[in-house]
């Protein structure tokens, strides 16, 4: 790799699509700036959750509401979806068949939807136990953090559908490739945030 080669924090397309690789430097960097601002928002919510954790007001507590097995399966689904999206990105980079790319994106879509379904079930169970956001400061901070991540996953799922339609309609032109690069960064970012939620919220809550 020469010292003059353009580098950016994303999938390197330089060996297979030089023109798109050059365009991606600016576009992908700009999306990284957006993700970092989103990371600051989640960091503030994590800090709020940590402060409000003892404020149960005599209501439901983390150990009474969190279920490790469902949270583990949600984690497994989301982490597997990160792998399948990575395979979709590799297929795009090496100009694999459109069918192969769409296949990996479809699996990612299914896994993301599965995660959302399991998380909504968890929230419904908490509501049936009387664990509402307005019940205590702890629950308010939890429902500010976890559902916000779920909302991000929902928009990610919608974005995957949009990109699948674009691939089928326009093929793999430069615009579509850069949008898939952005989507990949967004999807992997959601995995990182969820690992933090699983570790800091669920695991810590169960042992507290």
Domain 18-207 belongs to what topology? Answer: 1.20.120
Tokens describing residue 145: 């953090």
In terms of C-beta distances under 8 Å and separation of at least 24 residues, what long-range contacts does 202-205 make, across chains too? 202/66, 202/68, 202/71, 203/68, 204/62, 205/53, 205/62, 205/63, 205/65, 205/66
| Residue predicted with more confidence, 93 or 26 | 93
Tokens describing residue 181: 């690069």
123-133 burial code (b ≥16 CB/10 A, e <16): beebeeeebee
pLDDT in tens, 26-59: 667 778 888 999 999 999 999 999 999 999 999 9
- pTM here is 0.87
* 182, 31 contact by CB (below 8 A): yes
CA dihedral defined by 147, 150, 151, 152, rounded to 10 degrees? Answer: 130
| Residue predicted with more confidence, 96 or 44 | 44
> Rounded to 5 degrees, what are φ and ψ at 112?
-65, -40
pLDDT in tens, 139-192: 999 999 999 999 999 999 999 999 999 999 988 888 888 889 889 999 999 999
pLDDT of residue 33: 86
pLDDT of residue 5: 43
CA dihedral defined by 117, 123, 125, 130, rounded to 10 degrees? Answer: -160
* 6, 14 contact by CB (below 8 A): yes
The whole-number average pLDDT for the span 187-207 is: 92
Question: Is the pLDDT score of 203 beyond 50?
Answer: yes
Location of structure tokens 């695991």: 203
| Residue predicted with more confidence, 195 or 181 | 195
On average, the pLDDT of the chain sits at 87
């Amino acid at each position: 790799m020469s010292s003059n080669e353009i580098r950016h924090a994303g999938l390197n397309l330089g060996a297979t699509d030089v023109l798109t690789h050059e365009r991606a430097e600016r576009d992908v960097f700009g999306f990284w700036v957006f993700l970092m601002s989103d990371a600051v928002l989640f960091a503030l919510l994590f800090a709020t959750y940590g402060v409000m954790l003892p404020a149960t007001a005599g209501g439901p507590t983390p150990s009474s509401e969190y279920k490790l097995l469902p949270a583990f399966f949600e984690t497994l689904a989301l982490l597997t979806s990160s792998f399948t999206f990575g395979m979709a990105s590799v297929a795009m980079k090496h100009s694999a068949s459109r069918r192969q790319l769409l296949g990996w994106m479809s699996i990612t879509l299914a896994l993301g939807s599965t995660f959302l379904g399991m998380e909504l079930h968890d929230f419904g169970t908490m509501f049936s136990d009387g664990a509402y956001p307005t019940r205590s400061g702890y629950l308010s901070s939890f429902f500010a953090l976890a559902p916000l991540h779920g909302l991000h996953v929902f928009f990610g799922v919608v974005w995957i559908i949009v990109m699948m339609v674009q691939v089928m309609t326009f093929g793999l032109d430069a615009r579509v490739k850069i949008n898939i690069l952005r989507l990949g960064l967004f999807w992997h970012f959601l995995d990182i945030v969820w690992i933090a939620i699983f570790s800091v919220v669920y695991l810590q809550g169960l042992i507290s």
